Structure 1
């Protein structure tokens, strides 16, 4: 079995965003350093996720490493293939910026004369103002597994608001960015929170291992799953259906505000399962302490939203169903799609918008999710006219850099067009081990998911139902 990939080496340059035009001759202080300050120091700081770029001289010593990662387009960590959609916060590099870096490298990294750094950019979204903050970790913090390069650990946290509300913005503040790589927050139905707490209590130490999402890794073991379902018949399926992707954080994503006028409804008594991705190879012995979650919360929103999680349930039990099997030494592709017209009842349940008042859907994002055998994938929207639109293409998958890809303009689907409009996900896996890989919840099993943020346009209550509505 191959180990999970180390991330610390790849975090070297989460930056160098497009926008610089080539100069007649490039040097570090005049041309490269301003790009680093504008786009890199927010993560590569003394308190950041890897080596610091705050000191200009020490950053210059890594010039070859910077240029190599950028020229190979390994960095910045932007998985989306260009040419399909325009995305908010696109980190990808245009040819002009690549030329600046390549010309500098070809000239043997001229340094130039030192000069003061420009002012760094604002770290957080200008409109972000949290209404609720929640602590994630126990009082004494958490020490990541020192024997593993990567660890995915889930912690169950109470949503402390006393009344229903809508999450309209999110920020994670890791207590120790030397060991925290990313955060995913899943919301759990109030009726199932105690079941997740029970799972937490049954595993040694704070939290539980949870590579595949909100569920514990150990439920991927046949015997453990069988024992759990003796207590709770169909219990794993119930756990899986009772949580949804609420928000996430990755380096550089400080203070994310959801599309204006939208928000995700959260009820009192909801639980949050917070998946922390840790790595300790660059900071052995260091704990994560005082990690917190900040939320913007509104009493009402114009257009209630939700995260649609797309997969096939039988893929997650493939040792039994045989529906997602990747033999040793092979590359396999799996795909599925949902007809949006068939989801109207589910959408009404999630958003509490009556079915006959769902006027249109706004698809705001796409988010591909696989595990470490993922090779590539696509998320597509097939319109009721038959036109196929690629929402996201990821030709080179990297588990460590999964994120929402939010469109600069949402895809608007009128109610009359929902039936026959299909949102689909396709995943390709490559198994270079000696063992067969199955779909499932474990860290050495696979998943194929899309998560899309979708808002509902609601017709006024006085409008009569339109003919043909469901």
Structure 2
């Protein structure tokens, strides 16, 4: 099955989303309970999976034993990658994914990445080098990059699926799925936020799979990242309100890969590497790599996110808004399924635009007592992101 190598085109996923609306079991697809967005917490009860479809086989993957999250270098976040072998022996399609966070008090989000056979030795080496289960992995699995090296931490391995608070069981549209081949393995990255608690975790995920047939359409997801350059407010002050000091602190917490991502986003989005334009609103244009059909969209930011939109061919007579989240809520990141699948052409432009609000530092309990800082792209709970997500299939 064909794999694409575009800069930010990766294996199909919807961050915390669900495509069950277009399947025969959509009415029974359960949601993951959420307690409160203001507290950035979620219930520890997990809804059961929806009924199995014809020909589906469930594969359960997860941590072999409980893991104790540990933050280092003054951070409150632990990113841990675990290599899992689905053991498929024939060409298959993933038709649904269900994440089961083992300790919801500390699991901030989780992402399943596809590991190509050529990357498996590197993943095993990283696992063996670390004395604990898995390995530390800020930004991604840190495997040999696929595609654009400027944003290697975003693009080191294709996404298969992801979960964040508010996410539900993922069911892909009937007749579509995510290709999974023999020899491929999975990296499960779990982001632990130790501001919210501690304790052992044993997160798992379930893949619904069917044998590959000629009638199935392979889904991919196009990631649309944009820079985050969010200065302190005029009423705020402190050493980390200086951008250089803040970036240095980010590197100290998460390593040099974070600097590569910050610079890489300026590069691919037409920014200024030496004097980035700061502001609450940032955007970035990305070209569609091939003729395709878009099924769903989603957006991802952290706790200071205010709004996110995705526009198709902005500034032209064919302009169309395909995602509009005017009041972003971290705890409700479900995907938005298009009323009708949308055909796009190679070279069409997708623009993601995010607005963040630093005043939320004064309002959210999860950010209480956090020192004011200039915020750039980062995966820590107190850092930020601007990420559009488009699920599509090649025409």
Q: TM-score range by the shorter chain?
A: 0.5 to 0.7
* Deviation at residue 307 of structure 1 after TM alignment: 1.1
**Secondary structure of the equivalent of 1:198?**
helix
Q: Does structure 2 conserve the Cα–Cα contact (< 8 Å) formed by 1:375 and 1:397? A: yes
Equivalent residue for 1:297?
210
- Distance in structure 1 (CA, Å) of the matches to 2:346 and 2:189: 35
CA 201–145 in structure 1, closer or farther in 2 if over 3 Å, else same: same
CA 212–444 in structure 1, closer or farther in 2 if over 3 Å, else same: farther
Equivalent residue for 1:450?
388
Q: TM-score by structure 1 length?
A: 0.53
Are 1:245 and 2:159 matched, yes or no? yes
Equivalent of residue 67 in structure 2, options 142, 161, 168 = 142
Equivalent of residue 173 in structure 2, options 252, 259, 265 = 259
CA 317–277 in structure 1, closer or farther in 2 if over 3 Å, else same: closer
Equivalent of residue 205 in structure 1, options 132, 139, 147 = 132
Are 1:424 and 2:351 matched, yes or no? yes
- Distance in structure 2 (CA, Å) of the matches to 1:441 and 1:146: 13
* Deviation at residue 456 of structure 1 after TM alignment: 2.7
Are 1:272 and 2:199 matched, yes or no? no
- Distance in structure 1 (CA, Å) of the matches to 2:151 and 2:287: 22
**Secondary structure of the equivalent of 2:388?**
strand
CA 297–236 in structure 1, closer or farther in 2 if over 3 Å, else same: farther
Equivalent residue for 2:99?
172
- Distance in structure 1 (CA, Å) of the matches to 2:105 and 2:175: 35
Report Cα offsets for 1:57-107 as digits up to 9, x if no partner: xxxxxxxxxxxx7xxx96999xxxxxxxxxxxxxxxxxxxxxxxxxxxxxx
Matched pairs, number: 312
Alignment of 1:274-423 (within 5 A): 274-279=188-193, 284=198, 286-289=199-202, 291-300=204-213, 301-311=215-225, 316-318=261-263, 323=271, 331-340=279-288, 343-344=289-290, 361-371=292-302, 374-382=305-313, 386-413=317-344, 418-419=345-346, 421-423=348-350
CA 288–441 in structure 1, closer or farther in 2 if over 3 Å, else same: closer
- Distance in structure 1 (CA, Å) of the matches to 2:379 and 2:195: 25
**Secondary structure of the equivalent of 2:122?**
helix
Q: Does structure 2 conserve the Cα–Cα contact (< 8 Å) formed by 1:185 and 1:246? A: yes
- Distance in structure 2 (CA, Å) of the matches to 1:257 and 1:203: 35
- Distance in structure 2 (CA, Å) of the matches to 1:421 and 1:361: 10
Equivalent residue for 2:120?
193
**Secondary structure of the equivalent of 2:132?**
coil
- Distance in structure 1 (CA, Å) of the matches to 2:150 and 2:60: 27
* Deviation at residue 391 of structure 1 after TM alignment: 1.8
- Distance in structure 2 (CA, Å) of the matches to 1:446 and 1:43: 24
**Secondary structure of the equivalent of 1:331?**
coil
RMSD: 4.5
Equivalent residue for 2:8?
none
CA 441–252 in structure 1, closer or farther in 2 if over 3 Å, else same: closer
Alignment of 1:224-243 (within 5 A): 240-243=154-157
- Distance in structure 1 (CA, Å) of the matches to 2:40 and 2:52: 25
- Distance in structure 1 (CA, Å) of the matches to 2:200 and 2:357: 34
CA 361–43 in structure 1, closer or farther in 2 if over 3 Å, else same: closer
Q: Does structure 2 conserve the Cα–Cα contact (< 8 Å) formed by 1:154 and 1:275? A: yes
- Distance in structure 1 (CA, Å) of the matches to 2:272 and 2:135: 26
CA 261–445 in structure 1, closer or farther in 2 if over 3 Å, else same: same
Q: Does structure 2 conserve the Cα–Cα contact (< 8 Å) formed by 1:214 and 1:243? A: yes
- Distance in structure 2 (CA, Å) of the matches to 1:405 and 1:268: 32
CA 123–434 in structure 1, closer or farther in 2 if over 3 Å, else same: closer
Report Cα offsets for 1:200-239 as digits up to 9, x if no partner: 44445323444544449xxxxxxxxxxx99xxxx978566
CA 430–331 in structure 1, closer or farther in 2 if over 3 Å, else same: farther
Q: Does structure 1 conserve the Cα–Cα contact (< 8 Å) formed by 2:31 and 2:167? A: no
- Distance in structure 2 (CA, Å) of the matches to 1:203 and 1:374: 34
- Structure 2, gaps ≥5 residues long: 1-26, 42-46, 228-258, 360-370
- Structure 1, gaps ≥5 residues long: 1-37, 51-68, 78-121, 217-227, 345-359, 458-470
Bigger helix fraction:
1
* Deviation at residue 254 of structure 1 after TM alignment: 4.9
- Distance in structure 2 (CA, Å) of the matches to 1:245 and 1:295: 16
